[in-house]
């Protein structure tokens, strides 16, 4: 049985999980892959730091360059986190023709186009299953299982922290700040949770999925992103009354797909999801992706989207794929320039098309609009007049009773309208004397 020497660069939560999982199921993985896996080194920033896993001292080092340059290193597993050092590690390994496994969505979202090009030019693999949705094998689903499909619609709940907070707000009525503080205390959220709650983590994953699904590189800068900080218990309560749950939803919608150009809409923002849709039932730290293929129809994938074990499962899957590919190349059963079992570069090169992402202002959607207004005759007439002048229709209105203040919430459900029209209307509405606070606008999606 051939041996594959693996260098693990980084041993935090994910790296430690990979080491533990490999020790637990190494025999099983080797039998299924047909190759012996040997961890030749584990590179960490501080070898003396206490960790949640015990690492053999003989394997631990602090210089990633030595590990990557070592002629005995066959495969590099990059689990550093961040972008700067991770990019250097991956570029160095690929430049040497060594396959790389990474869980780094920020790195791929920022530099994936150049990294995949380097992998192709060096005829080696860059494996990235763990970069999106943790233990859910969505990358393999899109590039292998559903390879014959176009993807008119992909929706995802891709950040467990946001989903946990919104689920708790829904179930218990607590406010955002208190739930976030508790989640940080219990380890469900980072001490600096801005990447999660501002939507940036989901943004990186959305960029990767959009690129994978539509065959051209989608930059995170082209994707509209909003976080969940502005979602209040009032919004969750009114959404529930109207038959919706609020989720931080990634949406990738194909608007035009032909030989000349592919146009897509890609957004990450809080969205009202109808109770009768499967994504409304995804609670807690779970992730889920709803994929509509033009041949297969609707499919739904759900599971742990983060954490040591879920992410380790995806990393080990990629290690096995790299092992299988190395066997095929060594045995001469695959051409070096052909996609191997992982199709690790093909989605971004051989399938590349001319494409663009529709600007956020041109997106057309239904909307939930919450205003804080003066409880006086004529208020609704002023607001309706502004909306009508911008060709925006109202489908329903809720003005709850029982508020003793002079200012009351007013909830409007808006028919299909462009974001541009809504922004123009809201600019005028904010300046009305009867409006006492900044309007809150949240997308509504019926998945059609």
Rg, the chain, Cα only: 24
Annotate 393-418 with b (16+ C-beta within 10 A) or e (fewer).
eeeeeeeeeeeeeeebbbbbbbeebb
DSSP sequence for 196-235: HHTTHHHHHHHHHHHHHHHSSPPPGGGSEE--STT--HHH
Q: Tell me how crowded residue 384 is: count the other CB atoms within 10 A of its CB.
A: 15
- Residue among 162, 135, 166 at smallest CA distance from 307: 135
Residue 303 pairs in a beta bridge with: 287
Task: Provide the pairing of β-strand 355-357 with 364-374.
Answer: unpaired
Can you tell me the distance from the alpha carbon of 57 to that of 47, in angstroms, rounded to the nearest whole number?
A: 9
Active site residue 205: yes
Among 57, 205, 328, 436, the one annotated catalytic: 205
Can you tell me the distance from the alpha carbon of 257 to that of 271, in angstroms, rounded to the nearest whole number?
A: 25
- Residue among 180, 187, 177, 203 at smallest CA distance from 268: 203
Question: Where in the sequence numbering do the catalytic residues fall?
Answer: 205
């Amino acid at each position: 049985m051939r041996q594959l020497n693996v260098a693990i660069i980084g041993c935090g939560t994910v790296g430690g999980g990979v080491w533990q999982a490999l020790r637990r199921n190494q025999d099983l993985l080797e039998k299924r892959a047909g190759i012996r896996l040997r961890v030749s080194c584990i590179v960490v920033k501080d070898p003396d730091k206490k960790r949640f896993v015990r690492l053999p001292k003989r394997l631990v080092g602090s210089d990633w360059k030595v590990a990557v340059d070592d002629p005995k290193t066959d495969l590099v597993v990059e689990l550093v986190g961040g972008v700067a050092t991770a990019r250097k590690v991956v570029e160095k390994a690929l430049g040497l023709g060594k396959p790389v496994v990474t869980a780094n969505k920020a790195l791929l979202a920022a530099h994936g186009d150049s990294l995949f090009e380097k992998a192709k030019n060096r005829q080696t693999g860059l494996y990235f299953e763990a970069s999106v949705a943790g233990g859910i094998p969505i990358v393999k689903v899109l590039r292998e299982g559903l390879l014959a499909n176009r993807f008119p619609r992909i929706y995802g709940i891709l950040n467990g922290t946001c989903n946990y907070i919104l689920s708790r707000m829904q179930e218990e009525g607590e406010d955002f700040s208190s739930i976030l503080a508790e989640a940080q205390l219990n380890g469900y959220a980072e001490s600096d949770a801005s990447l999660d709650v501002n939507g940036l983590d989901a943004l990186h994953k959305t960029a990767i999925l959009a690129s994978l699904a539509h065959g051209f590189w989608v930059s995170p800068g082209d994707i509209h992103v909003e976080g969940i900080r502005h979602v209040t218990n009032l919004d969750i309560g009114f959404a529930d009354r109207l038959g919706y749950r609020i989720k931080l939803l990634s949406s990738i919608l194909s608007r035009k797909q032909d030989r000349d150009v592919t146009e897509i809409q890609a957004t990450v923002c809080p969205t009202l999801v109808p109770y009768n849709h499967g994504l409304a039932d995804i609670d807690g730290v779970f992730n889920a992706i709803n994929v509509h293929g033009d041949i297969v129809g609707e499919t739904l994938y759900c599971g742990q989207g983060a954490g040591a074990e879920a992410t380790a499962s995806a990393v080990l899957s990629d290690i096995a794929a790299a092992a299988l590919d190395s066997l095929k190349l060594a045995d001469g059963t695959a051409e070096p320039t052909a996609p191997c079992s992982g199709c690790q570069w093909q989605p971004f090169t051989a399938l590349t098309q001319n494409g663009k992402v529709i600007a956020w202002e041109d997106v057309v959607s239904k909307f939930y609009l919450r205003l804080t207004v003066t409880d006086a005759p004529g208020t609704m007439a002023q607001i309706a007049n502004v909306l009508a002048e911008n060709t925006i229709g109202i489908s329903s209105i809720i003005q709850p009773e029982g508020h003793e203040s002079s200012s009351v919430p007013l909830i409007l459900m808006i028919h299909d309208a462009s974001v541009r029209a809504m922004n123009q209307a809201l600019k005028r509405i904010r300046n009305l004397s009867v409006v006492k606070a900044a309007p809150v606008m949240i997308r509504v999606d019926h998945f059609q």
